[in-house]
Structure 1
Amino acid sequence: MLSITKWVFRLFVGVCVCCIMAVGVLYMFASRSLPDYDADVALSGITAPVEIVRDNANVPHIVGSNDKDVFFGLGYAHAQDRLWQLITMRRTVQGRLSEVFGPETLPIDRVLRRLDLYTLATQSVSVQTRETLAALEAYSAGINARLSQINADALGRGAPELFLFSNQIAPWQPADSIALIKLMALQGTTHLEQEVLRARTSLVLSNERMLDLLPDTPGKGLADLPSFAEVMPQGSTRVYAASTPKPQHPLSPFRPRDLAGASNAWAAAPSRSATGGSLLASDPHLAFSSPSIWYLARLELASGGIIGGTIPGIPLVLMGRSAALGWGLTASYADDQDLVFEQLNPDDPTQYRTPNGFAQFRTRDSIINVKDAPSETLTLRWTENGPVLPPEHYNLGTLMRDGYVAALNWTALSPKDTSMSAGMALMMAKSVQGAADAAQTFIAPSQNLMLADSNGVGMVTIGALPARDARHQTKGRLPSPGWVAQNRWQGILPPEASPRILTPEGGIIGNTNNKVTDAAFPNHVSFTYGDTQRITRWARLMQSRQVHTRDSFIEAQLDTISVTARTILPLIGANLWFTGPPAPAGTPERQRQRALTLLADWNGEMNEHLPEPLIYSAWVKALQTRLIRDELGPLHTEFTHVEPIFLERVYRDIDGAAAWCDVVQSAPLETCEDMARLALDDAIIWINERYGTALESLRWGDVHQATHDHPVLGETPILRHVVNIRQSTSGGDNTLMRGRTSGDPADPFHNVHGAGYRGVYDFADPDSSVFIISTGQSGHPLSRHYDDLGVLWRRGEYIPMSLNLDLARAGATGVTRLLPR
C-alpha cells in the first residue's frame, strides 16, 4: 500500500513538473514576440533615421526627416503592437478567413467574396493623390520591414496567436489599407438589414402597426409606405418563415442593426468656452474587442504634429487634433444602401431583367480555400445594381421568390474610392473651412465630421449620398424591383447637398447619431437614425450653462442619466405605483412592490453600483416581448433591444398604438396596465432565478460588464482568462456614456458596444487636451500595455494629448530608432 502511495505521489509530482515545464516553454516562445521598444534597428525603406518615442502609456510619437519616413514608422509601430489584428482584418475583407479557421467562417467569406471589396480597393489605388499613394507605399513598407525583422531575428512570429495559426503572411500593400476603410464601412452600416426586417415585418403587420414598431425618426418626413407585398409581383414565396441564425462568429463584420456604428461628438465655439478657445469632444462607438480597434499615435509631419486615434492597417489619424485643428466623427446613418430584387429570364437564368430588356450577369469564379476541408468555388454575379447576395444573408431567403435574386446597391462598392485621399487631406487641413473642403471626396462610410479650430466650430456630413428618383417606389426603405427605372440610383448627390453647418448660431453644435436635417426625400439623408434619446440629454447639458470647459465636456461624455428611463417608467408604471395594501413577505406581489418602490425613488442614473438599472432594463425588455410576440410570431426574436419610441407610442396610445397591449390569441381584452404588471413579474422571476431575491443588493455593473473579448481565443478554456478583459461599467443603451447591451438571450445586458476611444480637445490650451482607449496599446496578452489604459477608461479617466515631444521623452518607456540599412 505504501509503495502504491509513493508511486502515485511521484506520478503527481511528475505531471506537475511537466505542466510547469510546458507553461515555461510556451511563455518563452510567446514572450519572444514582445517588442523591444528601446532598440536601434537597421531597415530598408527609409532615407534617414526615424525615432519612435513611446511615452508612459505606450503611445508612439513618430519623428522623421520627411512624411514618407514618418508613415513608415507608423506602419512599423502598428505591426509591432497589433500584427495579429492587422492580418486578421485583412483576411476578413479579402474573404480568406476560412484558410485559417476552417468551415466555421465560410458564411463570412462567401458574402465578402460576393461583395468583392478587396478587388474594388485594388482598383481604387490608381485614383489616390500622389501624396496619399506615397504615404500608403511607405506605410506598407514599414509593416513589411517589421515582418522581415521578425523572420530574420526569430521574434516569435510577431504575435503569440501566430503559433496557433501559422499560415504564411503576405506582404502588406496599399490596397490592403484602402480595403480596411471599406471594411469599416461594412461594419458601420445598417440599412440592408433594416430593409429586410421592414419587409418581413410588413408581411405580418398592417402598415399602421409596422410604423409603431419601426417608425421613421421623429420629425418631418414620409408617414406612409407600401408593404413589401404591394411592391413585389405575386409569386411563390416563403412568407412567415422562422428566423434563421445569423453569423455569430466573433470575426464577422456583419453587425446586427442594433450593434452597428454609433458615436457622440460636439463642439463649442470660443463664445461658449470659459477659456476663450474652441472645445471639441468625440467618442466613436464600435464593438468592443481585445485589443481595442483603436490605437493611439502621434505623427510629426511636415505640416505639423498630429495626435489621436488610428486603426491598425490604415495610415490615418481618424480623429484627433493638430496644433490648428481638431476633428471627430459620428455615424451619419445616411441611407447609402438599397436592396433590389432582380427578375431572372425564365428562358435563360444567366440573364436578368432591366428597364431595357434582359441583360447578362457579370460573372467570375472565386475559389475559397478551407482549412481541413475541400475548397469551394463560388460564381460571383453582379447586375447593374450591384452584387448578388446569398439568400441566407440577413434572412433574405424569407423574402425570396422563385425566379428572383437579390442585389445590393451601396456607395462603398466604388472602384474609384477616394476616401483615403480625403482622410489624408483632412489631416493636413488648418481650419474648419479647409477641413470641410478637404473631406468632400470622402466616399464611405458616410460620417458626420465635427470640426474645431481656434476661431470656430462646424459640422459637415461627408461620404457619398445616392441620388434617388423622387418617384422611387419604396423611397429606399424596402427592397424594390430592380428592373423599374425609377427605383435605380441616378448617380451620387453633389457634396453641397449634404448637411453642413460651419457657423452655428448658438455657438454649440453636436451629434449623437440623431436626425440632422428635415430635408424631404430624396435629399433627406435617411429615414432612420441611430438615436432619438441621447440627443435630448445632450441638449439639456449643453444649454444648462452659458460657457463650457474641458471638464464640462468630459462630464457630458461620462454622463449616465437615461432620459429614456425617465420618460418610459412614469408611463408604464402610472397605475402600479403604491397601489393596494402591503403584500405578505415572500409573495410575488411583495417582490413587485419592492421593485416599484426602488424605481419610484430612482432618478434614471444607470450607475454600475445601483440595482434600479437592472430592474428597469429587465422590465422594459420583458414588456416589449409581451407586446410584440403574439403579432410577430417567430419574427419577434429579431427585436433584441427595446425600441423606446415604440413603448412611448403604445403607452401614450398614439394613433391607436395601445392595441398592441391586447393579446391577439386570448379571449380577454388585456390592457396596457395588465401587460406592464405581467412584464414586471416576468422580469422579477428572471432576476430571482439568476441573481437571487435580494433586489436591493443587485449591482448593474455585475450584469453590464464591458466584454473586451479576444475575437479568436476569447472562448478557449484557460486562455480566455488571459486574453479577455471584463470590466464593471455604468451607462446603458440610451445614455451619453453609451454602453450598448448585447441583446443575447444568454447575457442580454453585457456591455458589448461603446466608446472605445474618447477625446476632448481644448484650443485655449491644446496640451491640456486628453484622450483614452478602452484596452491598451498592445495586442500582446503578456504585455503590461495590453490592458493598462482600460483600467483608466473604466474609471472615466484620460491621458494627456500633447504634441510636446520633450514631454513624451521625459516619461518615455523606450525609444526605437529606425536606421536606414
Structure 2
Amino acid sequence: MKFLIKLLKVIAVLLILIVVGTWLYSKTYHPNYKGELEINNLSDEVTIYFDEIGVPHINAKNQKDAYIALGYVHAQDRLWQMELIRRIAPGRLSEIFGKDLLETDVFFAGLGIEEASEKSIAKLDTSSEAYLMSMAYLEGVNQYLNEGKMPLEFDLVGIKKEKYTLKDIYNVFGYMSFSFAVAHKTDPLLTEIKEKLGTPYFNELMSAFDKNLTINKTEIQPIKAEMSKAVSKIMDNLPVSAFIGSNSWVIAPEKTKNGKVLFANDPHIGFAQPSVWYQNHIKTPDYEIYGYNIALMPFPLLGHNRDYAYGLTMLANDDLNFYIEENNPDNANQYKTVDGFKDYEIRTKTIKIKDKKDTTFQVKVSKHGPIMNGLNRNISDDRPIAMNWMYTYLENEMLNVAHGISHAKSLENFRASVAKIHAPGLNVMYGDAKDNIAWFAAAKLYQLRDSVSSKTYLDGASGKDEILEILPFEENPQAINPSRNYVYSANHQPDSVRGKLYPGYYQPEDRSKRIVELLEAKNDFTKEDVAKMIYDVKSSNVSQIANDLLAIVNDSDFSVSQKKAVSILKNWDGTYSKTAVGATIYNRFLYEFLVNTFKDELGDGFELFINSQLQDQVLPNQISRENSIWWDNINSKNKTETRAEIVTTSFKNAFSFLENQLGANVEDWLWKRVISIEHEHAIGKAGGVLRKFFNVGPFETIGGNEVINNQIFKLDSTGVYKITAGPSTRRVIDFSDIENSLSILPTGQSGRVFSPYYKDQAQKFVDGEFVKMSLNKDEIKRSKNKLIFKKR
C-alpha cells in the first residue's frame, strides 16, 4: 500500500513537472508584448502599445523608425505566414513540405512572377519614400529573424533562417494577383466545351452573361471640399489563403443619421490559420494610419485614419488570356509569328525537394507568355498553350500604389495612385471626413478586336488576336459622389466601357442586389445598421430560383413527406439561418439538378463547373429554358429527357439523399447540421493531435454562398458543406465617431499558437460581433502591454 502511495506521489510530481515544463516551454514561443528591446538603425525610441486584441499601436518620431518597428512586430506574430507566402511564387514549398507540393512548385515557378519581380525592382527609384520605407520594414523583419525566437512551426518543419528581401515582397504581389485571376480556371473549360461538345453547348452557356445583372454605374460628380481542373486543385492545396471576392459599400452623408460618411468592407479570402490580415496602427508627427497588412507587405491594402478610409474588392475583369502557338515543324524551339518564326525564350528552373534530389525543368516562353503544357501536367492538348497575363505583361507599380493609397492627402491624390494599378483588377472603395465617397474599377483594361472572345483560347500565330490598346484609366468604370448617395461593390458586372460591357468573370447579382435592396430601404443609416447589414444572410435570388425549379416539378406521385419538403422549400425566404430547413433542401436539390443537367457532357470538368462563377451565372437562365441541348442525357439510349423529367428526378434524388443523411423527419433537416467552419493551419491539415493544436474550430455558423455574410463552400456529393472562404475581416468605419469604428478577424491577430491572440476573436467572428479599432491616444496608453524599442 505504501509503495502504491509513493508511486502515486511520484506520478503526481511528474505530471506537475510536465505541466510546468510545457508552460515554461510555451513561453519561449510567446511573442514579446512588453518590456524593452534594443534595435539597430533606429534614430529614436519607439513605443508600442498592444491593445486587448493584440493590435500594435506604434508611436514613433518618424516614419522610418515606425516601419522598422512594424516589420519587427509583424514578424514576431506572423513569421511562419511570411515564410510560406514568400515561397509560393518562386516554387519553394517542396523544399520544406516534400514532394507532395512539387506540382504546385513547378506550376508557380513557371509563371514568370520571379522574372517580373526582378524587372520591377531594377526600375525602382531607390530615393522614393515607397522604397525607403519598404527597406525599413524589411530591416525590422530581418532583425526579428536574426534575434527573435523562431515560431514552433520552424522547428517542426526544419526551416533554416534566410534573409527577407524586396524580391520577396514583389513575389507576394505576384501570388496575390494570380489568386485573383479566374480565367486560368474557366477559359480552358470553356474552350473544351466549345471544341469537344460543339458551338451550341458553348453558346447556351455564354448567352447568360448579359442577363440577371445588377450593374455598377459610372457617375462622377464634383468632389466635396477637395487550366481549369489542375489549376483549381493547385490553388485548393496551397498552404496559405487565396483571394476570392468581397463586399464593400460607402454611404454618403445624405443617407446617414449623423450626417457623415459610413464605410464598410469585408474582403472574401480563403480561410486559414493564421488569418490573412495583420492589424496595426502607426502614429508619427506627420502620419497616421490604422492598417491591415498582408504578410510581407509594408503598406496596408485596407486602412483608415481620421481623414479617409479605403478598402478593396476583386474586380474580376479578364486580365489573363491563353494563346495557341504554332511551333516551327523543323525546330520545336521556335514558334510562328506574323514576322516569321521566333525563338522561344528558354528558362531553366530548379526545385529543391525535402529529402529528395532536386528536380530541374525548362519553361518555354513566347511573346505571349510561358507555355503551360509543361507546367500543368494535366494539359493533354498537343498544341502549345501560352498564358498571357496582364501582371507580367505590363510594368508593376504595386509598391508605389500601396504606399500612395496609404499616404494620400486628398481624394485626387488617392485616385492618382489607384490609376497605377495594373493587375489584379480591383474595385477600390473610398470615403472621407470631407463627405466624399468614391468607387474605382482599377485595372489596366485592354481592347481586342470586336469579333474575338477572350473567354476561349486565342490564335497566337496570326497576329489577329493581339491586344490592340491599353485603355486610359479615365475610361474605367468609376463613381465619385453619385446622385444615389452610395457606392458599392460585390464583384459584379461594372458599367460599360466604350459602349459595351467589359468581359470578365463577375459574380452573379445575388450579393449586389441584396446590398442595393438594403441601401435603398432607408436614409438614416447608423454604424449599428451597417454592422448588422454586413452580417446579413438573406439571399435575394435563391428563393426565386427554388420556386422556379419547383414550378417545373411533377409532384403527382409524391409522398406526404416529399410534399412537406416541397412546401418548406417553397416558403423559404432565402435566409441561411442555423435552423433553416429550406437551405438544406435547396443546396442538395441544386446539386442533383446540376448533376442531371451537366455531368453527362462535362465529365471530369463537372466538379470545377458547378463551383465556378460560370455556373452561378448560367443557372437562372438554364432553368428558364424549356428547350435546351443540355437537358438530354447523352448516356441514355433511345430517349430524350425533358426539363420536367430532369427537375423532378433531381428533387426525388435530393429527398432520398437527405432522408438517409439526416433522418425521416424533414423538419430536422436544419442547416446547422450540414455546414461548419474550421480555420486550417498548414500543419494542422495533417489531422489528429496537430489538427486540434493548430487549427481553430470547427464552429457552427450562419450564412451560405453568395449572401452578404458570404460563407463559401463547394457543392459535392457528400452533402456536407465545409466552409473554405469568407470575410477575411469585417470593417465598419463611422466618420461621425471615428474613434469607435468596428472590425473583426476570423481568428485572431497572432499566428503564434501560444499567443493569447491566436484565436481570441474566432467565436465573436462567427457570432457577428465586433471589436473596436482604437484611435484614441489616452485609451491606447492604458493598454497593459507596452513594448519599447531603444536605439542600440
Matches within 5 A, 1:647-686: 647-653=619-625, 656-657=627-628, 659-664=629-634, 665-686=636-657
Shift of 1:244: 6.3
Cα pair distance change 1:357/1:254, threshold 3 Å: farther
Alpha-carbon displacement from aligned partner over 1:304-350 (angstroms, at most 9, x marks no partner): 32113211210112112111111111100111111112111111111
The counterpart of 1:459, out of the listed 436, 439, 442, is 439
Pairing 1:285–2:229 present: no
Where do 5+ consecutive residues of structure 2 fail to align? 214-226
For 1:191 and 1:177, locate their aligned partners in 2 and report how far apart those are by CA, in whole Å: 24
TM-score (norm 1): 0.88
2:340 aligned partner, one-letter code: G
The counterpart of 1:705, out of the listed 671, 676, 686, is 676
The counterpart of 1:252, out of the listed 238, 260, 263, is 238
Report the 3-state secondary structure (helix = DSSP H, G, I; strand = E; otherwise coil) of the residue aligned with 2:724: strand
On the 8 A contact 2:29/2:754 being kept in 1, the answer is no
On the 8 A contact 1:127/1:418 being kept in 2, the answer is no
The counterpart of 1:755, out of the listed 720, 724, 727, is 727
Q: Which residue does the alignment assign to 1:412? A: 391
The counterpart of 1:446, out of the listed 413, 425, 439, is 425
On the 8 A contact 1:741/1:748 being kept in 2, the answer is no
Cα pair distance change 1:590/1:661, threshold 3 Å: farther
2:397 aligned partner, one-letter code: T
Pairing 1:497–2:438 present: no
Q: Which shows bigger deviation, 21-30 or 38-47?
A: 21-30
Report the 3-state secondary structure (helix = DSSP H, G, I; strand = E; otherwise coil) of the residue aligned with 1:203: helix
The counterpart of 1:115, out of the listed 91, 95, 111, is 111
The counterpart of 2:376, out of the listed 376, 393, 398, is 393
Shift of 1:202: 1.2
Cα pair distance change 1:592/1:285, threshold 3 Å: same
Matches within 5 A, 1:553-632: 553-576=530-553, 580=556, 589-632=559-602
Report the 3-state secondary structure (helix = DSSP H, G, I; strand = E; otherwise coil) of the residue aligned with 1:735: coil
Pairing 1:366–2:356 present: no
Q: Which residue does the alignment assign to 1:227? A: none
Report the 3-state secondary structure (helix = DSSP H, G, I; strand = E; otherwise coil) of the residue aligned with 1:316: coil
Shift of 1:275: 0.9
The counterpart of 1:430, out of the listed 389, 392, 409, is 409
Alpha-carbon displacement from aligned partner over 1:454-511 (angstroms, at most 9, x marks no partner): 222111111322x33325x633111112122121224632222221211212111111
2:425 aligned partner, one-letter code: S
For 1:570 and 1:307, locate their aligned partners in 2 and report how far apart those are by CA, in whole Å: 46
Matches within 5 A, 1:724-735: 724-725=695-696, 726-735=698-707
Shift of 1:190: 0.5
Alpha-carbon displacement from aligned partner over 1:687-727 (angstroms, at most 9, x marks no partner): 23333333322332332212211123222321101211222
In percent, how many aligned pairs have the same letter? 23
Report the 3-state secondary structure (helix = DSSP H, G, I; strand = E; otherwise coil) of the residue aligned with 2:689: coil
Report the 3-state secondary structure (helix = DSSP H, G, I; strand = E; otherwise coil) of the residue aligned with 2:298: strand
Cα pair distance change 1:607/1:631, threshold 3 Å: same
Shift of 1:517: 1.5
1:622 aligned partner, one-letter code: E
On the 8 A contact 2:185/2:229 being kept in 1, the answer is no
The counterpart of 2:713, out of the listed 730, 738, 741, is 741
Cα pair distance change 1:216/1:68, threshold 3 Å: farther
Matches within 5 A, 1:716-731: 716-725=687-696, 726-731=698-703
Q: Which residue does the alignment assign to 1:170? A: 162
Matches within 5 A, 1:167-566: 167-215=159-207, 217-218=209-210, 247=233, 252=238, 261-391=244-374, 393=376, 395-397=378-380, 400-401=381-382, 404-413=383-392, 416-454=395-433, 455-465=435-445, 467-471=446-450, 474-490=452-468, 492-519=470-497, 524-566=501-543
On the 8 A contact 1:468/1:487 being kept in 2, the answer is no
1:797 aligned partner, one-letter code: E
1:733 aligned partner, one-letter code: N
Shift of 1:531: 2.9
Shift of 1:246: 5.3
Cα pair distance change 1:271/1:340, threshold 3 Å: same
2:423 aligned partner, one-letter code: A
Alpha-carbon displacement from aligned partner over 1:63-94 (angstroms, at most 9, x marks no partner): 11111111111111111111100111111122
2:252 aligned partner, one-letter code: A
Q: Which residue does the alignment assign to 2:220? A: none
2:420 aligned partner, one-letter code: T
CA RMSD of aligned residues (A): 3.0
Pairing 1:782–2:780 present: no
Q: Which shows bigger deviation, 704-713 or 97-106?
A: 704-713
2:514 aligned partner, one-letter code: R
Cα pair distance change 1:520/1:215, threshold 3 Å: farther
On the 8 A contact 2:477/2:497 being kept in 1, the answer is no
Cα pair distance change 1:777/1:254, threshold 3 Å: closer
Pairing 1:814–2:785 present: yes
For 1:394 and 1:490, locate their aligned partners in 2 and report how far apart those are by CA, in whole Å: 32
For 1:345 and 1:215, locate their aligned partners in 2 and report how far apart those are by CA, in whole Å: 37
Shift of 1:295: 1.5
Shift of 1:754: 0.7
Alpha-carbon displacement from aligned partner over 1:759-799 (angstroms, at most 9, x marks no partner): 11111221232111111011122222111111111111111
For 2:365 and 2:730, locate their aligned partners in 1 and report how far apart those are by CA, in whole Å: 40
Q: Which residue does the alignment assign to 1:106? A: 102
Alpha-carbon displacement from aligned partner over 1:540-573 (angstroms, at most 9, x marks no partner): 1111112322222222211111123221111111
For 2:630 and 2:7, locate their aligned partners in 1 and report how far apart those are by CA, in whole Å: 67
Q: Which shows bigger deviation, 753-762 or 29-38?
A: 29-38
1:601 aligned partner, one-letter code: N
Shift of 1:15: 11
The counterpart of 2:765, out of the listed 781, 786, 793, is 793
Report the 3-state secondary structure (helix = DSSP H, G, I; strand = E; otherwise coil) of the residue aligned with 1:393: coil
Cα pair distance change 1:434/1:384, threshold 3 Å: same
Cα pair distance change 1:717/1:663, threshold 3 Å: same
On the 8 A contact 2:85/2:240 being kept in 1, the answer is no
On the 8 A contact 2:113/2:392 being kept in 1, the answer is yes
2:454 aligned partner, one-letter code: G
For 1:254 and 1:765, locate their aligned partners in 2 and report how far apart those are by CA, in whole Å: 35
Cα pair distance change 1:160/1:557, threshold 3 Å: same
Cα pair distance change 1:136/1:779, threshold 3 Å: same
Where do 5+ consecutive residues of structure 1 fail to align? 222-240, 584-588
Q: Which residue does the alignment assign to 2:221? A: none
For 1:251 and 1:181, locate their aligned partners in 2 and report how far apart those are by CA, in whole Å: 19
The counterpart of 2:129, out of the listed 131, 154, 160, is 131
On the 8 A contact 2:277/2:292 being kept in 1, the answer is yes
Shift of 1:110: 0.5
For 2:7 and 2:336, locate their aligned partners in 1 and report how far apart those are by CA, in whole Å: 74
On the 8 A contact 1:204/1:632 being kept in 2, the answer is no
On the 8 A contact 2:589/2:651 being kept in 1, the answer is yes
Pairing 1:34–2:38 present: no
Report the 3-state secondary structure (helix = DSSP H, G, I; strand = E; otherwise coil) of the residue aligned with 2:761: helix
Report the 3-state secondary structure (helix = DSSP H, G, I; strand = E; otherwise coil) of the residue aligned with 2:61: coil
For 1:219 and 1:675, locate their aligned partners in 2 and report how far apart those are by CA, in whole Å: 23
Cα pair distance change 1:745/1:815, threshold 3 Å: farther
On the 8 A contact 1:107/1:247 being kept in 2, the answer is no
Q: Which shows bigger deviation, 199-208 or 641-650?
A: 641-650
For 1:254 and 1:306, locate their aligned partners in 2 and report how far apart those are by CA, in whole Å: 26
Q: Which residue does the alignment assign to 1:50? A: 46
Cα pair distance change 1:410/1:708, threshold 3 Å: same
1:196 aligned partner, one-letter code: P
Corresponding residue pairs, total: 771
Q: Which residue does the alignment assign to 1:232? A: none
